[in-house]
């Protein structure tokens, strides 16, 4: 299998549409973490993603008779644009089935390249099922986004370029993983030519299908996947890609949303280009691996896999980047409701910069304030700050890693009520016109909504915090109704951020 894939990679026909992307020094990040960091700039491809390589190679290798009948793919992102451009280059008719939640910028990009955009369903699975229907109805050939030897070979050309560009010292290459096409192709080539170089997969902690499969020694289907890094939000690693990953991947690193946001900022500071969340994934993994293994003086490469980010998402990225870089702590601090309390608190904080301070008067109770604090020495300084405040008699809750606090509570501080039988849930639902009203319409009228917060982040999924009054004997019925909605949800009534700022 090894030699077979190396031959396919070397024969891959990608440069009719793709370019050889540079391997750039990330000088600022290198200096900060004490290792030489190289960025393989696949964000500079004509479709701003490596996906054009595999899409074109798989299409050009189809028999002419099949190409003439047309092709179809299911994708919400970069594969769709790659297929559209490849089809345009080869004069092939291409149907691109995308969920209705697909950002308009990607739909228009597909149309601009001559693709026939078909919007169907709310998820990739819905789009995939419709694509299969078109295969049956029109006799089209389905182009898989990752689990196809020609796609894998096309993506493997990234490794050919990288090892040619960095023929000297190279300790590890960090590669993002969704379905596994990129890492399968790159790992097969790297381990053939330079087996001493470590190949390290990077996945979001809430979409880690390769990590789960390697631990189980078998492909598994994740019950749910995270929505932030949508380019790698895949529930199951590919069958062929998993075989290759088992042989050639050394380790897997998982990272959270905040760490990805920090990596987007790191990439911007060195390149002045905004990577999409999946595009910056490998940088986040590289940084985490360096920290975990206390590496110094190594040469490390990361594949910046794409730059198709919605402008609307930048607000969310900016909010979370400082936490991900360990440059900000988020705290809930109880202050006595008396004159001079805030001034004394600031004096205790010393010269530390306050990045956020949310408070509302609550007569008859101590004040609980939502505080953001700038850090210069990371988590060690955060721990020292907690110890300082507790030593001064303050009651403190560290909310730096609390998703509810960062996503919703920071925008809601000011109202506290003791609501009878209140249950609190955090939801994610498909973001499209009418989605919010549809969400509310599906809620049962028999229960009163006591709290509601929604904020658009420019992503494919909306996020809602919902409080609802339900007697204990009706909780099972509520959960049955929520399950019927089909939206991912998390109960948050015991979350310390809810208790500190929103509950009575």
Instruction: Please check whether residue 411 lies inside any domain of the structure.
Output: no
Query: pLDDT (tens digit, 9 = 90+) per residue, 401-411?
Result: 888 887 787 77
121 and 242 in a single domain? The answer is no
Instruction: Please check whether residue 305 lies inside any domain of the structure.
Output: yes
Query: Coil, strand or helix: which one is 56?
Result: helix
CA gap 223, 244 in Å, rounded: 24
Number of alpha helices (DSSP H) and beta strands (DSSP E) in the chain: 20, 18
Write out the catalytic residue numbers.
51, 305
Instruction: Please check whether residue 220 lies inside any domain of the structure.
Output: yes
Query: Which token pair is 41?
Result: 């700039």
66 and 107 in a single domain? The answer is yes
200 and 302 in a single domain? The answer is yes
CA gap 26, 36 in Å, rounded: 8
194 and 115 in a single domain? The answer is no
91 and 219 in a single domain? The answer is no
| CATH code at position 449 | 3.40.1020.10
Strand ranges of the sheet holding 422-430, from the earlier edge strand across to the other edge: 448-455, 461-469, 422-430, 488-491
Other Cβ atoms within 10 Å of 133 Cβ, number: 13
Contacts of 272 (CB under 8 A, 6+ apart): none
Q: Which of 378, 401, 424 is the last residue of a domain?
A: 401
294 and 187 in a single domain? The answer is yes
| CATH code at position 375 | 3.30.70.260
**Per DSSP, which regions of 42-115 are E strands?**
71-74, 94-98
Instruction: Report the first-to-last Cα separation within the chain, whole angstroms.
Output: 63
Query: Which token pair is 43?
Result: 């964000």
166 and 256 in a single domain? The answer is yes
Which range of residues forms the domain containing residue 214? 2-50+149-320
Instruction: Please check whether residue 157 lies inside any domain of the structure.
Output: yes
Question: Number of structural domains, the chain?
Answer: 4
Tell me the whole-structure pTM to 2 decimals.
0.77
193 and 248 in a single domain? The answer is yes
Along the chain (504 residues), what's the average pLDDT of each consecutive run of 10 residues? Answer: 86 96 97 97 95 96 94 88 94 91 79 91 81 94 95 98 96 96 97 97 95 96 83 90 97 94 93 93 97 97 90 76 77 79 78 72 70 82 90 89 80 69 83 61 68 64 79 88 82 85 74
225 and 252 in a single domain? The answer is yes
Tell me the CA distances in angstroms from 386 to 325, 329, 333, 402, one per residue in order.
18, 10, 10, 16
27 and 84 in a single domain? The answer is no
Instruction: Please check whether residue 407 lies inside any domain of the structure.
Output: no
Q: Which of 76, 107, 142 is the last residue of a domain?
A: 142
Query: Coil, strand or helix: which one is 35?
Result: coil
58 and 26 in a single domain? The answer is no
Query: For position 443, what pLDDT does the model report?
Result: 64
Instruction: Please check whether residue 303 lies inside any domain of the structure.
Output: yes
Q: Which of 337, 369, 401 is the last residue of a domain?
A: 401
CA gap 324, 314 in Å, rounded: 15
243 and 282 in a single domain? The answer is yes
CA gap 1, 349 in Å, rounded: 61
Query: For position 411, what pLDDT does the model report?
Result: 73
Contacts of 500 (CB under 8 A, 6+ apart): 332, 368, 397
| CATH code at position 24 | 3.40.50.1100
């Amino acid at each position: 299998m090894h030699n077979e894939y190396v031959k396919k990679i070397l024969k891959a026909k990608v440069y009719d549409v793709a370019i050889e992307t540079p391997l750039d020094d990330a000088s600022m990040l290198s200096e900060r973490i004490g290792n030489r960091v190289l960025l393989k700039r696949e964000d500079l491809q004509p479709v701003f993603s490596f996906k054009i390589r595999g899409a074109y190679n798989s299409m050009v290798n189809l028999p002419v008779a099949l190409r003439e009948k047309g092709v179809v793919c299911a994708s919400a992102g970069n594969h769709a644009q790659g297929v559209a451009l490849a089809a345009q280059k080869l004069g092939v008719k291409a149907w691109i089935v995308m969920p209705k939640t697909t950002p308009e910028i990607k739909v228009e990009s597909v149309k601009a390249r001559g693709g026939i955009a078909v919007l169907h369903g709310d998820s990739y699975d819905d789009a995939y099922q419709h694509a299969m229907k078109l295969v049956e109805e029109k006799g089209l050939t389905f182009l898989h986004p990752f689990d196809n030897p020609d796609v894998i070979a096309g993506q493997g050309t990234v490794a050919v370029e990288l090892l040619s560009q960095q023929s000297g010292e190279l300790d590890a290459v960090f590669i993002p993983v969704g379905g596994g096409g990129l890492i399968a192709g790159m790992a097969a080539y790297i381990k053939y030519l330079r087996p001493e170089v470590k190949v390290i997969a990077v996945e979001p902690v809430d979409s880690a299908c390769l990590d789960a499969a390697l631990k189980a020694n078998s492909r598994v289907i994740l019950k749910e996947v995270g929505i932030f890094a949508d380019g790698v939000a895949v529930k199951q690693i590919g069958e062929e890609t998993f075989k290759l990953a088992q042989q050639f991947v050394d380790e897997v690193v998982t990272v959270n949303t905040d760490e990805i946001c920090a990596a987007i900022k790191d990439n911007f500071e060195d390149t002045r280009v905004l990577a999409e969340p999946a595009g910056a994934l490998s940088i986040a993994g590289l940084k985490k691996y360096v920290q975990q293994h206390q590496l110094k003086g190594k040469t490390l490469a990361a594949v910046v896999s794409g730059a198709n980010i919605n402008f609307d998402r930048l607000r969310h990225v900016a909010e979370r980047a400082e936490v991900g870089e360990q440059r900000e702590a988020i705290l809930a601090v109880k202050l006595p409701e008396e004159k001079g309390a805030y001034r004394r608190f600031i004096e205790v904080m010393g010269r530390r910069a306050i990045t956020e301070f949310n408070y509302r008067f609550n007569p008859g109770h101590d004040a609980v304030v939502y505080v953001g604090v700038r850090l210069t020495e990371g988590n060690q300084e955060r721990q020292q700050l907690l110890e300082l405040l507790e030593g001064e008699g303050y009651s403190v809750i560290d909310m730096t890693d609390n998703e509810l606090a960062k996503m919703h509570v920071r925008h809601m501080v000011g109202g506290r009520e003791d609501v009878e039988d209140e249950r609190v849930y955090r939801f994610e639902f498909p973001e499209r016109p009418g989605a919010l009203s549809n969400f509310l319409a599906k809620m049962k009228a028999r229960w009163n909504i006591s709290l509601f917060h929604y904020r658009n982040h420019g992503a494919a999924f909306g996020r809602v915090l919902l409080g609802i009054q339900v007697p204990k004997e009706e909780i099972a019925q509520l959960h049955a109704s929520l399950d019927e909605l089909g939206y991912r949800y998390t109960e948050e009534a015991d979350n310390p951020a809810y208790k500190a700022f929103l509950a009575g």
